[in-house]
Amino acid sequence: MLKHLLASAIFTALCGAAMAETLEVPLVWLRHAEPERPVLSNLDPIPEDRGRAGAELGLADNLTTGKFLGQDYSLEIIEIAAEDDPLPDARAALGRSSFVVLDAPAATLLAIADLPEAQGAVLFNASSSDMSLRGADCRANLLHTKTSFAMQTDALMQFAQAKRWTDLVMITGNAPEDADFAAALTASAIKFGLEIAQTKPWIFDADMRRNAAQEVPLFTQDLADHDLLLVADVANDFARYIAYNAWEPRPIAGSEGLRPVSWAPVVEQWGAAQLHSRFSDLASRDMTPRDYAAWAAVRAVGEAVTRTNSADPATLRAYLLSDAFELAGFKGRPLSFRSWNGQLRQPIPLVTRAALVAQAPLEGFLHQRTELDTLGIDQPETTCTAFD
């Protein structure tokens, strides 16, 4: 009810002042490139404009709405090479805009969030699933539209629990992010009453494109009995070669097989087909999770500006973190930000390459606030204190 009164008040204000003068809302999309990991397969090249195209689509969406309300948006694109220091450019950008969408590794996100120029700004993490950014290392000026590893792995474990696939084993890659993903899988298994009986690190450096049929059966032969084989290999370097080559005929999940993701071309319901279609018109390719995160960040700013008719970062941050904010994210439920760590709460599609298998939160996983909070770090367990 309060929400409606507030919305009505804003609405009335808008009617009065709508066309009077143009409200300028400058945004920045800034990428600090990550050194790319070499992977065996050539099938999934990383698009040059990954993330950026999502931000550009968000801008186009905002502009269309803005033209009816006298609100004008702009998007400055800044791309910084992996070996270069991102801070000088970030400082300069924060002088021009208080709304910066970041596509960068966790360390860069923190360094930018800690800049004096960033205090009072609203930054968006549209790239990192790192758990510490939502926990002990959280920053009050850094919101997260990218899903955390825990949200994704909770989604997968809900599915395993619903299927009564209680015996799990895991193969883990050697990259630091693989370890983070594996840790999240392990924690989620415990959260939903499952157990990963055995974890085995991937040891091969041979080209599995030729050797998988010989090597993988032997490698997996001594795994404990299991219902589901988990693979933690975020870059999908070797996970794709495990399928159908393992010793036991069991489904695989994690980085290959059934994958918990924030976005995928196979998500077609809830109007998602329209978002895909607008995106592919713009970028001539499929929309990746990072594109989705960047799109959501730009749209979140747009939605908050629309509803408050303000471009003041403090006003918009307060609105974004309030109960009144909701973003139509093409996943069947309104998206909103967690007030305790700035994470955009959202459903997690569980997908194969060809179809949506299920979407978490799954039926039966209940929560006193919203079922979306069964995914990821919940308020009672957060170690983030910056949002108090």
Partner 1 sequence: MTYKPILLAIPLLATPAVADEMWISNEKDDTISVIDIETLEVVRTIEVGERPRGITFSKDYSVLYVCASDSDTVQVIDPESGEVLHELPSGEDPEQFVLHPDNRHLYIANEDDAITTVVDTETRTVVAQISVGIEPEGMAVSPDGTIAITTSETTNMAHWIDTETQELFANTLVDSRPRHAEFIKDGTELWVSAEIGGTISVFDVATQEEITKIDFAVDGVHPDRVQPVGFEMTAGDTHAFVALGPSNHVAVVNADTYEVEDYILVGRRVWHMDFNADRSLVFTTNGVSGDVTVIDVASREAIKSIKVGRFPWGAAFRPTDN
105 vs 376 by CB, closer to partner 1? 376
Alpha helices in 29-51 (DSSP H): none
Q: Is 91 in the site for partner 1 (CB under 8 A)?
A: no
Which region, judged by CB under 8 A, interacts with partner 1, from 33-41, 58-66, 97-105, 349-357?
58-66
269: left (phi over 0), alpha (psi -120 to 50) or beta: beta
Among the listed residues 33, 69, 261, 357, the single contact to partner 1 using CB under 8 A: 69
Q: How far is the CB of 364 from partner 1 (least distance, A)?
A: 12
What residues numbered 334-353 form the site for partner 1, per CB under 8 A?
334
With contact defined as beta carbons under 8 Å apart, do 256 and 231 qualify?
A: yes
Q: How far is the CB of 212 from partner 1 (least distance, A)?
A: 37
What residues numbered 291-330 form the site for partner 1, per CB under 8 A?
306-307, 326-328
- Cα 263–375–249 angle (5° rounding)? 70
Q: How far is the CB of 194 from partner 1 (least distance, A)?
A: 25
Strands 348-351 and 356-360: antiparallel
Among the listed residues 243, 278, 313, 362, the single contact to partner 1 using CB under 8 A: 278
Which residue in 94, 26, 8 sits closest to 62, CA to CA? 26
Report DSSP state, residue 269: T
Q: How far is the CB of 23 from partner 1 (least distance, A)?
A: 14
Among the listed residues 8, 214, 221, 379, the single contact to partner 1 using CB under 8 A: 8
Strands 334-337 and 344-345: antiparallel
Which region, judged by CB under 8 A, interacts with partner 1, from 23-31, 60-68, 199-207, 255-263?
60-68
Contacting residues for 76 by C-beta, under 8 A, at least 6 apart = 26, 27, 28, 29, 93, 96, 97
With contact defined as beta carbons under 8 Å apart, do 262 and 293 qualify?
A: yes
262 vs 151: CA distance, rounded Å: 9
Among the listed residues 372, 375, 377, 384, the single contact to partner 1 using CB under 8 A: 372
28 vs 260: CA distance, rounded Å: 29
Q: How far is the CB of 235 from partner 1 (least distance, A)?
A: 33
53 vs 228: CA distance, rounded Å: 36
22 vs 277 by CB, closer to partner 1? 277
Q: Is 277 in the site for partner 1 (CB under 8 A)?
A: yes
Q: How far is the CB of 40 from partner 1 (least distance, A)?
A: 38
Binding site for partner 1 (CB under 8 A): 4, 7-8, 11-12, 14-15, 18, 61, 64-65, 68-69, 271, 274, 277-278, 306-307, 326-328, 332-334, 370-372
